[in-house]
Amino acid sequence: MRGIFLVAWLALLPGVALAGSATDVTVQQQWVRYLLPNIPAGGYLVMVNNSNMPATLTGASSPACSSLMLHESMNMGGTAMMMPVTSVPVPAHGQAELVEGGYHLMCMGPKMKPGDKIAITLDFGDGTSEVVSAPVYGAMGAP
Ligand SMILES: [Cu+2]
């Protein structure tokens, strides 16, 4: 009896550990701006952290991009620039926005057209990932 009880208890452990560390981030308002095949497409969205643990976006990928990078736009001595970043923090019970002029996704080699919906996988620091479907708009953004 005792042996069976121990095995059952151990089997529960991974589930308990997972529940304690799972990212509880809701992704909203996702969309992609597509210009031309040889111009990287920008990806924008809002991440809402519903938990009391800080979360971190650590990467992204999409079958519609040869690579999908995390970027941050900044102003360096009056010149607008963008730099790759390794992560974007999402504070506990807070949110992080990927927007024009701030953190954003950069889709290199975009294979899409306005009107499409592309799948974007967002990877988080706790090892979880989330797939969202993002509508593709043209230069003017949402119609
Ligand atoms: Cu960029």
pLDDT tens sequence across 18-44: 444 457 999 999 999 999 999 999 999
What is the rounded average pLDDT of the residues 72-79? 92
Tell whether 12 is covered by a domain.
Answer: no
CA of 46 to the centre of ligand 1 (A): 16
DSSP classification of residue 57: E
User: What is the rounded distance in angstroms from the CA atom of residue 87 to the CA atom of residue 59?
Assistant: 7
Number of domains in the chain: 1
Does residue 3 lie in a domain region?
no
Rounded to the nearest whole angstrom, what is the distance from the C-alpha of residue 11 to the centroid of ligand 1? 45
Range of the domain at 70: 24-137
Residue 1 Cα to ligand 1 middle (Å)? 60
**Looking at residue 84, which CATH number applies to its domain?**
2.60.40.1890
Residue 124 lies in a domain: yes
Considering the domain boundaries, does residue 111 fall inside one?
yes
Q: Which residue type occupies 84?
A: P
Residue 29 alpha carbon to ligand 1 centre in Å:
18
How far, in Å, from the CA of 42 to the mean position of ligand 1?
7
Instruction: Please tell me the pTM assigned to this model.
Output: 0.82
Q: Is residue 59 part of a domain?
A: yes
Nearest 5°: the CA angle 121, 37, 109 is 40
What pLDDT was estimated at residue 143? Answer: 81
- 51 belongs to a structural domain: yes
* Residue 4 resides in a domain: no
Q: Is 10 left (phi over 0), alpha (psi -120 to 50) or beta?
A: alpha
In a domain, 101, yes or no: yes
